Amino acid sequence: MRLAIDLQACQHGAAADPEATVALVRALVTAAQAAGHTVLLMLYHAWPAQADDLRRAPGWPSATAPAIPSAAAAPGQVQLHVLATTRGGDDWRRGAADLLRATVLQDWRADLVWTPGLFERDSPHAVTGTGTVPAIYSLGSMSSLRGMGSMGSMGRPDSVSGPAARNMALAASERQHQALARARLLTGADAATVAALRLAAPGVEVVQAASGEAMLAALTGLMAAGGKSAVAAHMATVATVPADSTNASSDIATATGAGAVGAGAAAVAADTVSAGGTASATSAGAGGAGAAVDRAAARDAATAADTVATGGAASATGAGAGGAGAAVDPAAAGGAASAAAGRAVTTAATHVPIAARPARPSMAFLSPLPPQHSGIADYSVELLAQLERYYDIELIADDPVDPGLARRYPVRDCAWFDRHAGRYARVLYHFGNHSVHQHMFALLRRHPGIVVLHDFFLSGALDQMERSGQPQVFLDALYASHGHTGLLAHQRHGRHAAIWTYPCNRQVLEHASGVIVHADFSRRLAQQWYGGDSAQLWQTVPLIRGLPAGHDADSARATARAALGVADDVFLVCSFGMMGVTKRNELLLAAFLASPLAADPRCQLVFVGAPDPGDYGRSIAQAIAAAGSDTGARIRITGFVAGDQYARWLAAADAAVQLRSRTRGETSASVLDCLLHGVPTVVNAHGANADLPADVLLRLPDDCDAAALAGALAQLHGPSGAALRAGLATRARAYMAAHHAPSRVGPRFRDAIETATAYSPAVHYAALLAALQALGPAPAGALMETAEAIAANRLPLAPRQLFVDISALVEADLKTGIQRVVRAIVLRLVEAPPPGYRVEPVYCNGGNRPYRYARSFTLRMLGCPTMALEDAPLEVRAGDRFLGLDLYTNGTAQNRERLQDMRRRGVDIYFVVYDLLPLLKPQVFPVGTDTYFSAYLDTIAAVADGVLCISRAVADELHDWLATRPGRSRREPLPLGYFHLGADLDASAPTTGLPANAGDLLDAVAARPSMLLVGTLEPRKCQDQALAAAELLWRQGVDLNLVIVGKQGWMVDKLVQQLQNHVERDRRLFWLTGASDDMLNRLYQSCSALLAPSIGEGFGLPLIEAARHGLPIIARDLPVFREVGGAHAYYFSGTAASDLAAALQHWLTLHAAGAAPPSSALPWLSWQASTEQLLRVLDGGHWYRTLVPAAAREPSTLTTGAA
């Protein structure tokens, strides 16, 4: 069961006892989860404070406590959706809110929606639209209710003073009455409440349920009694239609009045929306008109989408209230008058005479067709013969169509279809990975329809389209499907590797109103590539395969062998299909030559299909020639064969071998053809072949070798081979007859089409727009509110997005240590995204402006070609994740409200904190730095689901600082974790280039001991102490170099002057203000030691970079340096020049004696390992410690109400 639980009553004040309501919901969720049901918890964005309280209410059964998991965080268990609605007291906005809610419920495919506490108190904010989803309402004990009359008037409008208030109360009372009357089930906490409900809603079932277990029993009982969603009821009805039906009952419109809660109305509405029918709320013939097969109204609804999205005026042109409105519950359209009109429409639509409906919906059929040389073309002929029993089919094709087909079906060209697509009730596209499908990509974008996906990979077709003159169509699809990960792989490994690695099909899948595949293997590929339940709505229908009427295998074999010139006593092994490396033809050839069959003059091997035209094909030919004249003469390649010749080889074969590698997600028609003809077949367990029953063929391991295949051939040919072959043939024919016969596949295909249509979010969207039009003229601003809500309510798409904030890097790449970290981690995430996520670098400009995709910058950083990709505002969905990786203090603080809003919408928010130095050592930062840095940390502490620090020391410092922060108001625990940074500079998008004096500098470094300092010039880095110590040593006659790498920072004007004017400059003192990573690497390799005199660090990245090169480390004795360096560094103390000079002198003595601590054994991470550590904290919950909420808590908004 898919149960939606709506918690609005705990947000807007309708629940008399919100805490008790939450407790009941929590108990039900726990019981439902234990029973394996899927639960959707619905909160409302209009009441954000209450939504926050509900998210963090203790006790939710969640692996990611304290927050309720976002949608897709726990698929099949508990999901969260924050519903965006219009909010206002006018009828139009209330009606729109109902429609928005109903659409979300239908998109989520809820079986039931339960709204506890909604009518316990007066509330003008109640949202009750459910569409086709049965509604359940629960009330607490009578002691919490104000009173209920027999008419269900719970608002007692007679007690309200003032005409306006009284009218509003009357409207609210009427809406409550309608909601109760439409309910499928009502529950009360005690006997008195049950009795009152029965008076208020006569005819509605009422039961007593005061516990979670009792509520679950009531809901599951309702489901068992047929209280499922109307869409599901409709599909159950469709499935029972006789397969040979050719009248109106074969269509979706036959489901009238059957099932629970208006299943007939839902069925008619579904067909009406799909067909774009019109209906009038003022005529008894509304349903008949609504069922008309004409999609013009759906086209009008699409036009209305633009109108709604742009805030223009919407007009109800063509799509009347009765058509689309019935699908999204116009009876709850808001206000007594509009609700009454909606009830009239729904009633009319429920009782449409079958005679008023068309016999069959019209269908546009887009596919390769004979005489094109395509397996899909031949398949389409068989499929058309079955689908014509259910649909009036027109073929859409630009190429010539077989005359027989053209006589049987009207043929339209693509340009005509482009102009008239709205006339079709169903549009069926057949997509494969070949250029013959290229015209369909653009048509599908403009005219969504159901896609039959013959190949999961479409990358080959898209590459051919780009090569034929459609610029960047492959790259666009690569980015749309696989993001920067695909583009980076393409840049590094080239087009050929990208074609074979990436499916590039997401645009097709997203524009499809439904997807049909021929094997569950394709669904597994979708889950592998896009995660979660991305293929949950896909329909699997066996590939249609049938034999001619009266086919007799024995006579067909004799006839075929005579025609082909194959003697009756020849043992004939065939392999069917165009040859190529993915068919592993070389393995079959080697196995045949290694088997006893090669020495038997009665055994032949025939490759039935066109040879590979390249090097692979030539190598096969050479191997056949090298087999010798006797054996080679018994091995043939037929070349391309027409359908009749192909059938002869199938009939003639004694055995077939059909191997596969590097599958494109296709279902092998040739394997099924072999089984259909009873040919004993050998396959390897690759792709869809792994799903075939083990008893109908011989299946070898996916990576089988020639010896294993030779053994299988010998088994089929040996003394017991005849019995083995006969058994395989019998079982294969029976399997094909049961699952792939046209008479079996036809009804299943029709059911799949109708299921996809009924469940299609695109259909729900068109219905929503049409129903919004039916509400009449919208008040000022309402259309924009509605458009924004529609966009926000789109359910999560797979894969989820991992937003990585690189705002400071986009603003200016100053090549600081932090920005080196940001580049390195972004690259690792792009190279290997976390499972189920698509990595999207993002940025903002502060000022609470929207975050944007950093597409242009990321392309440049990855070294990819320029593309026409917009840095558009983020499209956030529940289940997405935001990682504040960059240090963007002011902008983050300014975006606090926006980040809170993202979190309320189900986005998990995390930040990386590098240090707290502006707060712990404010004296070494510009005046005011501590102020804006504290605002930055306050923002993070308020909005984050967790904070990751770059060392344990920083995590402890952050915890202690936040714990004593005055005025801290966060009311939920804040997890704190840490990870360590990487050391491989070459993995951080390194900069290149050498300074003009690089040669002289490296010569000087080679001539004497050299101390290397790395970091921006700033007071805490203590470069001034290092310079003073070096000057002291120089005066003492110690010959060493001081090499400083870092740009000028703040509060170092005196030091900069010293460095620029020093007598030892470019002799024994070197300052590189803009050294590339390339130059820095060379210095790490050639200097004597890294000197780290800083008085404060978050990690100390130069330490591990030095250790990676085996460069010894001299570091100040800081806790974080001890954490990172351990026993592998030389530590010093003191802030005077003499302290450091003495330490350097001592280290030089140790170094000369070989006794200085080496850094070579210091454990360091690669950036890949560093990124994996970060992800283990996020994904695995390996948090280090938790900041508990402040002791003084604000009162929960759940107890104060929100009305």
Statement to judge: residues 948 and 875 lie in one domain? yes
Statement to judge: residues 784 and 721 lie in one domain? no
Statement to judge: residues 787 and 804 lie in one domain? no
Q: Is 1114 helix (H, G, I), strand (E, B) or coil?
A: strand
Statement to judge: residues 341 and 433 lie in one domain? no
Q: Please give the single-letter amino acid code of residue 978.
A: Y
Q: How confident is the model at residue 426 (pLDDT cuts 50, 70, 90)?
A: very high
pLDDT digit string, tens, across residues 69-99: 444 444 457 888 889 998 877 889 999 999 9
pLDDT tops 60 at residue 421: yes
- Residue 529 belongs to domain with CATH number: 3.40.50
Domain boundary among 510, 540, 570: 540
Q: What is the pLDDT of residue 374?
A: 83
User: Among all chains, which residue has been given the structure tokens 């896009």?
Assistant: 530
% of the chain at pLDDT higher than 90: 66
Statement to judge: residues 911 and 1029 lie in one domain? no
Q: How confident is the model at residue 166 (pLDDT cuts 50, 70, 90)?
A: low
pLDDT digit string, tens, across residues 368-402: 999 998 889 989 999 999 999 999 999 999 999 99
User: Which of 283-292, 304-313, 593-602 holds the top average pLDDT?
Assistant: 593-602
Q: How confident is the model at residue 972 (pLDDT cuts 50, 70, 90)?
A: confident
Q: How confident is the model at residue 58 (pLDDT cuts 50, 70, 90)?
A: low
Q: Is 247 helix (H, G, I), strand (E, B) or coil?
A: coil
Classify the C-alpha dihedral 163-167-168-172 as positive or negative. positive
Q: How confident is the model at residue 967 (pLDDT cuts 50, 70, 90)?
A: confident
pLDDT tops 60 at residue 300: no
CA 436 – CA 441 distance, rounded (Å): 11
Residue 1197 lies in a domain: no
pLDDT tops 50 at residue 902: yes
Residue 745 lies in a domain: no
Which secondary-structure segment (H or E) carries 699?
strand 698-700
Q: What is the pLDDT of residue 181?
A: 86
Q: What is the pLDDT of residue 265?
A: 27
Statement to judge: residues 458 and 569 lie in one domain? no
pLDDT tops 60 at residue 916: yes
Q: What DSSP string runs through 945-978?
A: SEEEESSHHHHHHHHHHHHT-TT----S-EEEEE
Statement to judge: residues 296 and 384 lie in one domain? no
Residue 33 lies in a domain: yes
CA 563 – CA 835 distance, rounded (Å): 55
Statement to judge: residues 1053 and 1074 lie in one domain? yes
Residue 720 lies in a domain: yes
Q: What is the pLDDT of residue 329?
A: 35
pLDDT tops 60 at residue 951: yes
* Structural domain containing residue 527: 362-540
Q: How confident is the model at residue 223 (pLDDT cuts 50, 70, 90)?
A: confident
Domain boundary among 963, 982, 1001: 982
Q: How confident is the model at residue 1198 (pLDDT cuts 50, 70, 90)?
A: low
Q: Which residues contact 351 (CB under 8 A, 6 or more apart)?
A: 256, 257, 264, 287
Q: What is the pLDDT of residue 224?
A: 84
Statement to judge: residues 303 and 167 lie in one domain? no
Of 1021 and 49, more confident: 1021
Classify the C-alpha dihedral 140-144-150-153 as positive or negative. negative
Predicted model pTM: 0.81
- When mean pLDDT is compared across 1-5, 151-155, 359-363, 1089-1093, the lowest value belongs to 151-155
pLDDT tops 90 at residue 816: no
Q: What is the pLDDT of residue 1021?
A: 95
Any idea what the Cα angle at residue 1046 is, between residues 1040 and 1050, rounded to 5°?
A: 120
According to DSSP, the β-strands at 135-139 and 1089-1092 are unpaired
Q: What is the pLDDT of residue 1077?
A: 86
Residue 746 lies in a domain: no
CA 778 – CA 8 distance, rounded (Å): 24
- Residue 200 belongs to domain with CATH number: 3.40.50.2000
Which is nearest to 390 in space by CA: 280, 252, 200?
252
> What's the rounded mean pLDDT across residues 874-881?
89
Mean model confidence pLDDT for the chain:
84
Q: What is the DSSP letter of 1165?
A: B
Statement to judge: residues 1006 and 1145 lie in one domain? yes
pLDDT tops 80 at residue 144: no
- When mean pLDDT is compared across 56-60, 662-666, 717-721, 942-946, the lowest value belongs to 56-60
> What's the rounded mean pLDDT across residues 871-877?
92
Statement to judge: residues 19 and 127 lie in one domain? yes
pLDDT tops 80 at residue 442: yes
> What's the rounded mean pLDDT across residues 409-419?
97
Q: Is 883 helix (H, G, I), strand (E, B) or coil?
A: strand
Residue 1194 lies in a domain: no
Q: Six-digit token pair at 1056?
A: 């900069």
CA 149 – CA 278 distance, rounded (Å): 39
Q: Six-digit token pair at 305?
A: 């989408």
Q: What is the pLDDT of residue 52?
A: 83
> What's the rounded mean pLDDT across residues 289-304?
34
Q: What is the pLDDT of residue 573?
A: 98
Residue 1188 lies in a domain: no
pLDDT tops 80 at residue 249: no
Q: What is the pLDDT of residue 54?
A: 85
Residue 42 lies in a domain: yes
Q: What is the pLDDT of residue 169?
A: 57
> What's the rounded mean pLDDT across residues 888-899?
95
User: What is the total count of domains within the chain?
Assistant: 6
pLDDT tops 60 at residue 919: yes
Q: What is the pLDDT of residue 681?
A: 97
**Contact, 132 vs 266, CB < 8 A?**
yes
Q: What is the DSSP letter of 843?
A: E
User: Among all chains, which residue has been given the structure tokens 């679950």?
Assistant: 216
pLDDT digit string, tens, across residues 1006-1060: 999 999 999 999 999 999 999 999 999 999 999 999 999 999 999 999 999 999 9
pLDDT tops 70 at residue 147: no
3-state secondary structure 372-427: CCCHHHHHHHHHHHHHCCCCEEEEECCCCCCHHHHHHCCEECHHHHHHHHHHCCEE
> What's the rounded mean pLDDT across residues 532-542?
86
Statement to judge: residues 1033 and 1154 lie in one domain? yes
